[in-house]
Structures are given as C-alpha cells and as structure tokens.
Amino acid sequence: MSTLDIKQVSKQFGDKQILNKLDLEVHEGEFVALLGPSGSGKSTIFHMIGGLFTPDEGSIYIDNKEITGKRGSISYMPQTPSLFPWRTILDNVLLSQEINGKPDKQKAIKMLERAGLIDYQHAFPHQLSGGMRQRVAFVRSLLSPQSFICLDEPFSALDELTRLDMQNWLLSIWEEERPSVLFVTHNIEEAIYLSDRIVVLGEQEKRIIHEQEVPFKRPRKESITLTEEFLASKKNIYKKLRRISHV
Ligand code: ADP
Ligand code: MG
C-alpha cells in the first residue's frame, strides 16, 4: 500500500510565501500529475514530502503515518538524474537498496533488461546518453524500498522524440507495477498522456486550484493525443493555467 496525504501545508522562504494551505492527495496505485508554472513551488512540495524542508504549518502523511519533516519515506527522482559517476549502472540502481540493507541483484538485472540497459550494466554513467541516464534513475526509484514515487520533471531536459520514447517506456513499466506516483511537469500534454488525475497549482493562490480526471483507458496509445477528447482536456487545463474563460 502507498498513499500520500498533504494537509494544509504552508511554506515561506524569507518573507516570500510559496505555498498557502495546500491540500493534495494521491490514492493507492494512482498516477497523479502536478502541473504548475515554473517557480510556483512544485519542487518545494517534493522537498517537503522528502523531508528536506519542514513546512511552516500543516502535515504530510504517507500510508496514513505522519512523516512531516522526516526523511526517507519516499522514492524521489530529481529533475536531473543524480547518478554516481564512479559506480557502474548496476551499482547505481542497487544503491537505494544497499542503504536499506538487502540489495536484490536479480530484480535489478531484470529491471535493467526491461529498460533496454542490460548491455550497459557494467558501464559508467558518462558512457550513456541523457535518456538512458534518466531510465537508470527511474529504475533506481522503482527498486527502492519506499513504494511511493515522486518524479520531478524527469523528461524536461530531453528532446521531443526522446521524451516521447521515455513517456511510453515509463507507461509500460508503470502499467505493470502500478506504484503510486506523483509526477511534476509543466507540460500539459505530458500530464494528460501519463496520468489518471491532474492537479493544477495556482501561482497566486499558492495551492491547488483545479483538478480533473483523465478519461483515457489503459494501456494508453500515442494515438489518443490526436483525438478530440484529448484536445478538450488540454483546452480545459490550459484555461485554468492561463486564467482565461475561453480558448
Ligand atoms: P518550481 O519547481 O515550481 O519551478 P520551486 O519549488 O523550485 O518551483 O520554487 C518556488 C519558489 O521558491 C521560487 O521562487 C524559488 O526561488 C523559491 N525557493 C525554492 N527553494 C528555495 C530555498 N531553498 N530558499 C529560498 N527560496 C527558495
Ligand atoms: Mg522544479
């Protein structure tokens, strides 16, 4: 089981209010996309879930257990994959398990196979492309003993085609294992294509101002992005983000 519950969380840096009484829930096995403009506090939310920052007020729960200000309750994949350059790919993906006691090498190898990285298990990070390093970082989060996964704009540095490949790869892996995921992005199409539910963070309100269910069944196919229904979802979110009443 793995759920997230953020209750009335506020955060200020200096005298600048970043979040104001934010509520946000992710249910068991749900893939939620958090959309918001750059600088609206998305990474700050992750840093608080991860316990790097403590909120000024409010509480955070994983699996109904309060973890406010505590580290180590989630598997976190940052914006740029932080692989250790001196460790091989296999040793990098085993790292989070090593820290927690019992590395499962067989499972790691199976996941690397699934990620198309098996030929690189003994290579070092600098020998891989950007997309491959992202896959390594993602495999590492899937292998970590914490089952709630937070992904912070994992594909934003990739070119459009690599991004599409990565989204499809992520979907195929996610659909097999169905971990609970909170996925941060500023890309509306990416949010619709990947998630079950989209929540929009309002820059002025500093909390969630809109949420909508994504109507597409799984497994998802790229062709849904060309449908009227996809465009309708996109328009609706665009209006909320841009604060306009019609497009
Ligand atoms: P996002 O991820 O949505 O782009 P961030 O959460 O990174 O936004 O940042 C939100 C705001 O908080 C920004 O104005 C940023 O400058 C500020 N901020 C983030 N971290 C810190 C910090 N450690 N100290 C001071 N200000 C910060
Ligand atoms: Mg960010």
Average pLDDT over residues 59-70: 96
What does the DSSP 8-state code read for residue 134?
Answer: H
12 C-alpha to ligand 1 centroid (Å): 10
> pLDDT confidence of 210, banded at 50, 70, 90?
very high
Question: For ligand 1, is residue 141 a contact (CB within 6 Å)?
Answer: no
Which residue's CA is minimally distant from atom 24 of ligand 1?
Answer: 13
178 C-alpha to ligand 1 centroid (Å): 30
CB 200 within 8 A of CB 211: yes
Q: Which residue has the higher pLDDT, 119 or 81?
A: 119
* pLDDT, averaged across the chain: 92
pLDDT digits (tens, 9 = 90+) for 127-185: 999 889 988 998 898 888 888 999 999 888 778 888 888 899 899 888 888 999 999 99
CB 215 within 8 A of CB 233: yes
Q: Residue 114 above 90 pLDDT?
A: no
Residues 6 or more apart from 162 whose CB is under 8 A from it?
130, 131, 155
Question: For ligand 1, is residue 38 a contact (CB within 6 Å)?
Answer: yes
| Whole-number Å distance between alpha carbons of 49 and 176 | 25
CB 112 within 8 A of CB 93: yes
pLDDT digits (tens, 9 = 90+) for 19-47: 999 999 999 999 999 999 889 999 999 99
Question: For ligand 1, is residue 43 a contact (CB within 6 Å)?
Answer: yes
Sheet holding 197-201, edge to edge: 75-77, 149-152, 181-185, 31-35, 197-201, 208-213
Question: For ligand 1, is residue 75 a contact (CB within 6 Å)?
Answer: no
